[in-house]
Amino acid sequence: MNIEEQVELLMQGADYGDEELQKNMARELRERLLGAEKENRPLRVYCGYDPTSTDLHLGHTISMRKLRQFQDLGHEVTFLIGNYTALVGDPSDKNKARPVLTQEQVAENAKTYAEQAFRVLDRGKTKVRYNGEWLGELSLVDLIRLGQNFTVQQFLARENFAKRLDKGEPIYLHETFYALMQGYDAAAMQTDVQVGGSDQLFNIIVAGRKLQEALGQKPLVGIITGILPGTDGVQRMSKSTGNIVPINTGADDMFGKLMSVPDSAMGIYMRLVTRFSPREIEQIEKDVASGALHPRDAKMKMAKEITSIFYTDEESAAAQEHFVKTFQQKEIPDEMPEYELLAGQAVVDVILAAGMVESKSKARQLIDQKGVRLDGEVLERGDAVFPHPGVLQVGKRRFLRVK
């Protein structure tokens, strides 16, 4: 890839909530990539993960997918386990204070994090570190000096804090430490690029960059990714809402949950979680819009791709086959009209003769839209000889038993 193609890939799925900021970050990323190429060194890239629970879901892996893209381009990636930041709890996406975890709880949760991450990241190219290495060494004087770089107003202006303030709900002093601690992570590792979700915008763009400048470093480039909606297609993927796609429950379960995602959310899933290039995604969306690709088949493609990231290609293919069979069994009614197949009849002739559509042109239109299936398999050509007896599905609700 040339530099422009790299920038396009690495900024795919980015969400800053501000077009000017996004342009600035893309420009700075381009400059960093050019500089690294000139100096013949990899960029130092990281993302931090607080082990506040034991299992990861698909929403957690968005930043890992971005880290993997950097790895594949030859850069140095650190998977940072926030064993100290987890003690405080990130207030960024919360409307109330998180419960404070014990060191024992954090250590237990952290055991599974890296292993789960290696289902996305290249194990041989990933550095795993714990931010207790440097945060545990900070003194009270050090914390005071870090705090001198920020105002209380900056914290109170954050949306979630402002809402709590308006409601008269408490904002605890220790919650303001979190951004300082995460910003110091970036400085301690002399980071070039930090990846994080859009809920981390303040921690990365404000705290991280500001502390690096204060400590004489060049401020990092923040790659801020969008937030993955859950299987409902609306709310953020979260255990508390029950709309998650776990990564540890098996290929069949993952594939099935992905197929339940609304069509409207397919674009963001493809951009945030798949290995598809910007060009591939653009082509899929064009094909769906033109009717050349049925949305259901596009979703199958997406589900198979995502499942194959976390399981083998064989397991992903088997999960798709299992889903198709299960879905067909659910969809097929117990009773349906029957039709006696005549020798040499074409697909479109059977559809018309059985009265499933009013004209040949309508039959051809449905076939072009991938809306005609025989025993679950899409029939691509209307002029082809009808393949074999079975259950013919035309559109969503019309079924015919061909004998």
pLDDT recorded at residue 89: 62
Residue 34: exposure state from Cβ atoms within 10 A (0-12, 13-18, ≥19) = exposed
d(CA 223, CA 229): 19
Q: Are 245 and 254 in contact (CB under 8 A)?
A: yes
Could you say which of 3.30.930.10, 2.60.40.10, 3.40.190.80, 3.40.50.620 is the CATH number of the domain covering 3-227? Answer: 3.40.50.620
Rounded to an integer, the average pLDDT of 84-99 is: 61
Higher per-residue confidence, 111 vs 385? 385
Rounded to an integer, the average pLDDT of 11-37 is: 94
pLDDT recorded at residue 100: 59
Q: What share of the chain is helix, strand, coil (3-state, %, to 5)?
A: 50, 15, 35
Backbone angles phi, psi at 73, to 5 degrees: -90, 5
Q: Of the candidates 190, 175, 9, which has an alpha carbon nearest to the alpha carbon of residue 92? A: 175
Give domain limits for the chain: 3-227, 251-331, 338-402
Q: Is the pLDDT score of 395 beyond 60?
A: yes
Give 215-256 pLDDT, tens digit per residue: 999 999 999 998 899 888 888 888 767 788 888 888 988 998
Q: Are 187 and 217 in contact (CB under 8 A)?
A: yes
> 360 CB contacts (<8 Å, ≥6 apart)?
348, 352, 382
H or E element that contains 33? helix 19-39
Q: Is the pLDDT score of 142 beyond 80?
A: yes
Calculate the average pLDDT of the chain. Answer: 87
To the nearest whole percent, how much of the chain has pLDDT over 70? 93
Rounded to an integer, the average pLDDT of 60-74 is: 93
The model's confidence at residue 155, banded by pLDDT at 50, 70 and 90, is confident
Q: Is the pLDDT score of 117 beyond 90?
A: no
In this structure, which long-range contacts are made by residues 314-319, counting pairs with CB atoms below 8 Å and at least 24 apart in sequence? 315/251, 316/251, 316/255, 318/251, 318/252, 319/251, 319/252, 319/254, 319/255, 319/256
- Per the listing, tokens 């409902």 go with 232
- β-pair partners for 393: 373, 399
Q: Which amino acid is at 108?
A: E
Q: What is the CATH number assigned to the segment(s) 251-331?
A: 1.10.240.10
d(CA 360, CA 115): 55
To the nearest whole percent, how much of the chain has pLDDT over 90? 44
Q: What is the CATH number assigned to the segment(s) 338-402?
A: 3.10.290.10
pLDDT recorded at residue 116: 79
Q: Is the pLDDT score of 95 beyond 60?
A: no
